[in-house]
Amino acid sequence: MSKPSAYSLSAHNSLKQLAEKNASTGLIKKFDSDSDRVNRYTFDLGAFSLDLSKTHIDSTLVQAYTQIAKDIDFGSNRSQFLNGFPINATENRPVLHTLLRQDEAAFGEKLDPKVAKQAVDSRAAFKAQIIQINNRISRSDHPITDLIHIGIGGSSLGTQLVYEALKPLNSSLRVHFVSNIDAHQLLEVLAICKAQSTLVFGISKTFTTAETLKNVTSVLQWMQGLGAANPMSRLYAVTANPEAAHQFGVNVDHVVSFPTWVGGRYSVWSSVSITAALMMGEQRFDEFLQGAASIDKHFAETNPENNIPFLSACLDHYYCNYSGAKSRAIFAYDHRLRSLVPYLQQLETESNGKDRQRNGEPVDQLTSPVVWGGVGTDVQHSVFQMLHQGTSLIPSEFILIVKPDHKLTDHHSTLLANGIAQTAALLVGQDADDIRAVEPETEGNDLVLKAKTFSGNRPSTTFLLEQLSPFSLGALLAFYEHRTYCFGQLVNINSFDQMGVELGKRLANDVASSLEVDGDQSAFDPSTQSIIARIKGN
């Protein structure tokens, strides 16, 4: 890797030399040379602990990135972020989703008072709307049993994650998520709902998102077809553009707004999560916000060398740019977190999958790795073969919940044992002697011994949450947000726009026009023209 322009030569060379050393030295040897390594690199953030000791973190890496933090003026940039400067330069907007989860006393001292008032008013209006809708849900004469949450990307992924993670097993209120324009998803939901006992929530920051509005329209038509009285009275809109919702026909008192400075993939803290909040109740949703605020405080007040989101981002950057890792895997050993990976895929790759620096020039280093993963123990029977013996370096993360919310403790002990065992196996691997010790019958079978040997030296991080609660989930998501921001700072990009998404939307409209019977596809490349022609031919 060539030296990024903003980095000091000494820090860059230090990381290059460290990568060369680590490539030829087993990760387990770091424990041999530092008897206090586990304590030194296990961090307690209150809501969860984070064990980085099985990664390549060491004093050399921390010192190099501490210098880089000075090189890129990280402290000043962080202050601008938290105080409402328009750090999203391409859209000339501040990025202030953190305000929605903080007490007013924690707001940045340089924050515009008008923005502070917007944050306070937004939270108050959201809470008032929750009370109003809950009163409607619980009416004995027309009880509501189902909520249909219609949104896509940031208007759905975070809310669905929170709902699945925190819903009680015996909840009488069901929430269904419709994100895809593919009607198969919508029809599955409608098949199990009754029009008379269903409310619909259309979630769109601009209230112009084509997929969302089409799905909302189809649900309203379904209700009308089943004889539901006044379907529009069952529709609520959550948006930063109330006027567009009014023009769509949504009742004024059914529009729940949020500020324009809340980005889509950072909107889980806002009224976008209205359906999850209705399930959780006001107190538990407040606890979710408080968990996030606890990480905000650590991020805002802690120097880079001890700042856990920053150090985690440094490891991401080191593996991507100095060790050749092109992806990072995340495994949640809890079924309730089955939507965590899709949420983090959007958060990280939409934020940092960029090829332009903040000044518009091409980047001079690698940006976002591919983020992927799944739920343990399922993934152990699919992708873990590649993790242990594949030819790609893939740093992995394991999220473990110490106490389950059920009484089948033998199940949970087995689940935890599997997750912990994988981190140990990735670290140490196994050689021929290890295999012979547990499988004496392999003695003399050279082919089998070689096939069952793997090197270890595969880095992993372990998160331990005492319990999956609103507070701990809020803290975990806020940690990943700040980590994403820090990585964007290290590679000098704007983590808060998404121009690639906008291009795809525009082209989709052009393709849709060309698919009409008399549509013209001549403006497209030959392959695209052929695909369109074949579809029209059927």
List, as one string, the DSSP characters of 94-139: ---GGGGGS-GGGS-TTS-HHHHHHHHHHHHHHHHHHHHHHHHHT-
With respect to residue 88, please indicate whether it lies within any of the assigned structural domains: no
Q: State residue 76's pLDDT score.
A: 97
In what side-by-side order are the strands of the sheet with 255-257? Answer: 174-178, 146-150, 198-203, 235-239, 255-257
Q: Which two tokens stand for residue 245?
A: 């919702």
Mention every residue, 6+ apart, whose C-beta is less than 8 A from residue 386. Answer: 392, 394
Are 505 and 331 contacting, i.e. CB atoms less than 8 angstroms apart? no
Q: Which residues of 103-123 are buried (b: 16+ CB within 10 A; e: fewer)?
A: eeeebbeebeeebbebbeebb
Whether residue 328 sits in one domain with residue 460: yes
**Phi/psi class of residue 458: alpha, beta or left (left: φ > 0; alpha: ψ in -120 to 50)?**
beta
Whether residue 259 sits in one domain with residue 169: yes
C-alpha distances in angstroms, 403 versus 6, 289, 409, 412? 45, 22, 9, 8
User: Which phi and psi (to 5°) does residue 449 adopt?
Assistant: -60, -45
Whether residue 149 sits in one domain with residue 138: yes
With respect to residue 450, please indicate whether it lies within any of the assigned structural domains: yes
Whether residue 225 sits in one domain with residue 322: no
- Of the listed 21, 29, 450, 505, which one is catalytic? 505
Mean pLDDT by runs of 10 across the 538 residues of the chain is 92 97 93 96 98 98 98 97 95 96 86 93 94 89 93 97 93 94 98 96 96 97 94 97 97 96 97 96 96 97 98 98 97 98 98 97 97 96 96 97 96 98 96 94 94 95 98 98 98 95 84 89 92 89
The domain that holds 137 is classified in CATH as 3.40.50.10490
Nearest to 219 by CA among 252, 194, 249, 251: 194
Whether residue 366 sits in one domain with residue 220: no
Q: Which two tokens stand for residue 308?
A: 């856990």
Are 494 and 430 contacting, i.e. CB atoms less than 8 angstroms apart? no
Whether residue 479 sits in one domain with residue 351: yes
Whether residue 25 sits in one domain with residue 112: no
What is the Cα–Cα distance from 277 to 281, expressed in whole angstroms?
6
Q: How many CA atoms lie within 13 A of 110 on its CB side?
A: 11
C-alpha distances in angstroms, 485 versus 63, 257, 280, 350? 20, 25, 28, 12
- Of the listed 350, 354, 397, 482, which one is catalytic? 350
Note if 350 is an active site residue.
yes
Q: State residue 501's pLDDT score.
A: 84
Mention every residue, 6+ apart, whose C-beta is less than 8 A from residue 138. Answer: none
Q: State residue 399's pLDDT score.
A: 98
With respect to residue 1, please indicate whether it lies within any of the assigned structural domains: no
With respect to residue 422, please indicate whether it lies within any of the assigned structural domains: yes
Q: State residue 242's pLDDT score.
A: 97
Nearest to 304 by CA among 477, 61, 8, 9: 61
pTM beyond 0.85: yes
Q: How many CA atoms lie within 13 A of 474 on its CB side?
A: 25
In the DSSP assignment, the letter for residue 363 is P
C-alpha distances in angstroms, 363 versus 55, 315, 354? 26, 19, 8
Whether residue 271 sits in one domain with residue 259: yes
Q: Which two tokens stand for residue 287?
A: 């606890």
- Of the listed 142, 381, 406, 407, which one is catalytic? 381
- Determine the structural domain holding residue 247 and report its residue range: 99-285
In the DSSP assignment, the letter for residue 362 is B
Q: State residue 305's pLDDT score.
A: 97
Q: State residue 72's pLDDT score.
A: 97
Last residue of a domain, one of 235, 252, 285: 285
Last residue of a domain, one of 254, 285, 316: 285
Are 272 and 162 contacting, i.e. CB atoms less than 8 angstroms apart? no
Using CB atoms within 10 A of its CB, is residue 495 exposed (0-12), middle (13-18) or buried (19+)?
buried
What is the Cα–Cα distance from 173 to 137, expressed in whole angstroms?
9
With respect to residue 462, please indicate whether it lies within any of the assigned structural domains: yes
Note if 505 is an active site residue.
yes
Whether residue 61 sits in one domain with residue 117: no
Whether residue 112 sits in one domain with residue 64: no
Q: What is the number of other CB atoms lying within 10 angstroms of the CB of residue 394? A: 22
Report the number of distinct structural domains present in the chain.
3
Whether residue 275 sits in one domain with residue 408: no
Whether residue 237 sits in one domain with residue 315: no
Note if 243 is an active site residue.
no
Q: What is the number of other CB atoms lying within 10 angstroms of the CB of residue 432? A: 15
